[in-house]
């Protein structure tokens, strides 16, 4: 009876190992974890929404410079969208090489506040202007940055993680370009602390001297 019980236990262990091996095979073939799929879907959905918004915004833009920014960013995000779709569906390196987004704005920032009318929600489409459009574009790009960061941190597939993490600096550049455009036209004003307070804050921390403590 004891020998029969041991044989049954060994059979059960063998079945468990077989099930585990089978489960690992399925996981390897799928090549994606659940969290990363959900987060990748969020990023793709955000990209689709942003691209759709850019398409609608084009008819309201009056400034040729903003039209150029919109068109270049739309083209770049479409390419990023296609690369992410391919990577998610195959788990492999996308067929198209990654590109780096190059903005045309200089890095000059205008500091200080000037008197302006308080902002409020628009009441009709006739109120849509370049300030409103560029603000909506920047908000959409910021949302993509947050989604891409979360998805990269959750990804188990190394290729998908790399595609997501490599794209993040480019999305940050898109947002920065829109900020510089808005700041230049005083749509986005940047307050500053007093010189005394600024000096105090930027020197509020000192380098650490405990580099060898762990040794």
Q: Is residue 74 part of a domain?
A: yes
**What is the token pair recorded at 26?**
């399925």
What is the extent of the structural domain holding 135?
A: 33-108+129-196
Q: What is the CATH number of the domain that holds 52?
A: 1.20.1260.10
Three-state DSSP at 117 gives: coil
User: Is 0.75 surpassed by the pTM of this model?
Assistant: yes
Q: What is the pLDDT along the chain (215 residues), one digit of tens a residue?
A: 555 555 555 555 545 444 444 444 444 445 888 888 999 999 999 999 999 999 999 999 999 999 999 999 999 999 999 999 999 998 889 999 999 999 998 999 999 999 888 889 999 999 999 999 999 999 999 999 999 999 999 999 999 999 999 999 999 999 999 999 999 999 999 999 999 999 999 999 998 887 776 66
Q: Is residue 50 part of a domain?
A: yes
CB 31 within 8 A of CB 91: yes
Distances (CA, A) of 147 to 78, 109, 211: 16, 27, 35
Count: domains in the chain: 1
């Amino acid at each position: 009876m004891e020998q029969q019980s041991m044989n049954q236990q060994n059979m059960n262990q063998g079945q468990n190992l077989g099930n585990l091996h089978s489960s690992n095979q399925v996981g390897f073939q799928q090549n994606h974890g659940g969290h990363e799929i959900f987060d990748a879907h969020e990023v793709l959905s955000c990209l689709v929404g942003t691209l759709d918004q850019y398409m609608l915004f084009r008819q309201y833009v009056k400034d040729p410079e903003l039209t150029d920014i919109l068109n270049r960013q739309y083209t770049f995000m479409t390419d990023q969208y296609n690369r992410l779709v391919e990577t998610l569906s195959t788990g492999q390196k996308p067929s198209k090489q990654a590109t780096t987004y190059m903005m045309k704005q200089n890095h000059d920032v205008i500091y200080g506040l000037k008197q302006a009318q308080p902002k409020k929600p628009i009441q009709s489409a006739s109120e849509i202007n370049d300030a409103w459009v560029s603000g909506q574009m920047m908000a959409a790009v910021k949302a993509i940055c947050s989604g891409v960061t979360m998805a990269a941190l959750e990804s188990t597939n190394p290729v998908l993680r790399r595609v997501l993490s490599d794209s993040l600096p480019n999305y940050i550049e898109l947002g920065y370009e829109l900020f510089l455009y808005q700041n230049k036209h005083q749509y986005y004003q940047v307050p500053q602390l007093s010189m005394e307070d600024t000096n105090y804050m930027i020197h509020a921390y000192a380098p650490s001297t405990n580099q060898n403590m762990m040794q």
